[in-house]
Amino acid sequence: MKKINHFIGGVEYISKSDRFGDVFNPAVGEKIADVSLANGDDVQTAISSAKSAFNSWSKTPVLTRSRVMFKFKELLLRDMDKLAAQVTEEHGKILSDAAGSVTRGMEVVEFMSGAPHLLKGEFSENVGTNIDSWSMRQPLGICVGITPFNFPAMVPMWMFVVAIACGNCFILKPSEKDPSLLITLGKLLKEAGLPDGVFNVINGDKEAVDNLITHPDVAAVSFVGSTPVAEYIYHTASKYNKRVQALGGAKNHMIIMPDADLDQVADGLMGAGYGSAGERCMALSVAVAVGGIGDALIEKLKPRVQSLKVGPGNDPEVEMGPLISKAHLSKVKGYVDSGVKAGASLVVDGRDIALQGYENGYFIGGCLFDNVTKDMQIYKEEIFGPVLSVVRTDTFDSALKLVNDHEFGNGVTIYTRDGDTARAFSNQCQIGMVGINVPIPVPMAFHSFGGWKRSLFGDHAMHGMEGIRFFTRLKTVTSRWPDGIRSGAEFIMPTMK
């Protein structure tokens, strides 16, 4: 059986720990690897390696750091097909989607190739007589990333690319469900010229995470995953005086106004509701039909959901792959059962899908609910599967209230032809990322990604200028050169006369 180890100091590192996790190919339901689960000694080894690399990396000219990013981008392009196949094998998503997710990560590399410009400071001449002042942003030290299973390439790249280009050293703890890609990325970074110890990978579970987020030498913790774990990471790491950004779960709504183009709406809902089997934090899981368009919407959606092509992610004809694990499959089916029990109408039932040759894979077909109400569990909780709920409501105001009353605030979108309605919505919704006639409003690398409410704990979103602020700290220097004039000691606050 293949063993997945760790990556420390530029080489694969074998732990003395005898704890392992199982890694599966979810399309066939077979175990394909044992992943080593790190202990406290392994974490210490990674931290020591990062610590010894920091002094020289943080002093490396920013142009040299950005050239490593340029080279890393070339290598990502060179190996794109292999990287996508690695994502598909362990995660299950279709190959084209896997390549898209690597590309979205690569866009952060492109953004940070501009580090010399992005890290320029500010300078003010003569803030007092013959006194100058300037501000600069300096790296924090050792930063840690902890990432979820659903984007094994993109989400880690949101973090480590920004951190490293800013002059930090980094330790990434990927999801133990699909961990192998990060070691591949570590080797590519080394090939791109990154010095050993600047980027390290620790595989593991809660034991590794707890050792990392409480370690005195760790300066900052960046987390993406489910809300309960995000909240735990935020409180624990903050208690140990780390800077923390912790992104959590979501329940993203699409508001469909009566004047919207329903074909465009249905296309948007299909891709954003069922793409990647709904395992995206920006997946649309609630469609809010405003003002009597519910029947027409269901009529458009039902045949599309029924004809979704479900199968292994490496089949180019397939539109939706399996879920990540057997446990997650039964959790998603449980949600569908609970919706039926609560009285929602199950218009398309994908629970009993059977795929010849893939009987043990973790597949579920697309599910579509109508007449879902806000008290139902399927409305309140994140399902993280291919289950779309249609909620009917009479007015724009009641649709807006639904969105604003929900505990999550990650993404939302409105479909309408009316600019005034769209403007009012984007202005008044309590959500971090908003679309207008766009199904998945994921900000580009040069903007920043982050939700509101219980979808993000901390003050900073990911990548863009927010990411740079998170991974650097501000220093302001006020300077005067001796000019021979001595005015004696002053005991009052310096002010301009």
Question: Would you tell me which residues interact with ligand NAD (CB under 6 A)?
Answer: 146-151, 155, 173, 175-176, 205-206, 209, 224-226, 229, 232, 247-250, 281, 382, 384, 410, 451, 455
Distance of CA 297 to the CA centre of its chain: 30
Report the residue number, 139 or 441, with the smaller CB distance to ligand NAD: 441
Min separation Cβ 360 and ligand NAD, Å:
21
Cross-strand partners of 221: 144, 244
Residue nearest to ligand NAD (CB): 225
Find, among 85, 50, 87, the residue nearest to 172 by Cα. 50
Q: Is the dihedral of CA 238, 243, 245, 246 positive or negative?
A: negative
- Return the number of the residue (266 or 433) whose C-beta is nearest ligand NAD: 433
Burial of 490 (0-12, 13-18, 19+ CB in 10 A): exposed
> How far is residue 347's CA from residue 336's CA, in Å, rounded to a whole number?
11
Distance separating alpha carbons of residues 289 and 172, to the nearest angstrom: 42
Residue 175 corresponds to which amino acid?
Answer: S
Burial (CB < 10 A; 0-12, 13-18, 19+), residue 339, is: buried
In which residue are the tokens 């097909």 written? 81
Q: Reply yes or no on whether 281 is catalytic.
A: yes
Q: Are strands 472-480 and 131-139 parallel, antiparallel or unpaired?
A: antiparallel
Q: Whose Cβ is closer to ligand NAD: residue 174's or residue 350's?
A: 174
Please identify, using beta-carbon distances, which residue of 455 and 472 lies nearer to ligand NAD: 455
Distances from the Cα of 1 to the Cα of 14, 89, 90, 226, 303, angstroms:
15, 15, 15, 30, 43
Identity of the residue, 107 or 370, whose beta carbon is nearer to ligand NAD in the bound complex: 107
Catalytic residue among 143, 166, 169, 281: 281
Pick between residue 129 and residue 430 the one whose CB is nearest to ligand NAD: 430
Task: Classify residue 166 by its DSSP letter.
Answer: T
Query: Cβ 491 to ligand NAD, closest distance in Å?
Result: 51
Closest separation in Å from C-beta 280 to ligand NAD: 7
Which of 209, 367 has the CB closer to ligand NAD? 209
- Distances in Å between the alpha carbon of 200 and those of 5, 83, 168? 12, 18, 12
State the minimum distance, in angstroms, from the CB of residue 75 to ligand NAD: 25
> For 285, what's the count of Cα atoms within 13 Å in the CB-facing half-sphere?
30
Nearest by Cα to 275 from 151, 369, 155, 402: 151
- Quickly count helices (H) and strands (E) in the chain: 16, 23
Residue 324 carries which side chain, given as an amino acid letter? I
Minimum separation from the CB atom of position 10 to ligand NAD (A): 23
CB nearer to ligand NAD: give 176 or 319. 176
Q: Are 113 and 66 within 8 A, CB to CB?
A: yes
Closest approach, Cβ 322 to ligand NAD, in A, equals 15
Which bin fits 130, alpha (ψ -120 to 50), beta or left (φ > 0)? left
Q: Tokens 């790296």 belong to which residue?
A: 139
Closest contact distance (angstroms) between CB of 31 and ligand NAD is 18
CB 324 to ligand NAD: min, Å: 8
Task: Name the 3-class secondary structure at 458.
Answer: strand
Pair of tokens at residue 472: 């650097």
Which residues are marked as active site? 281
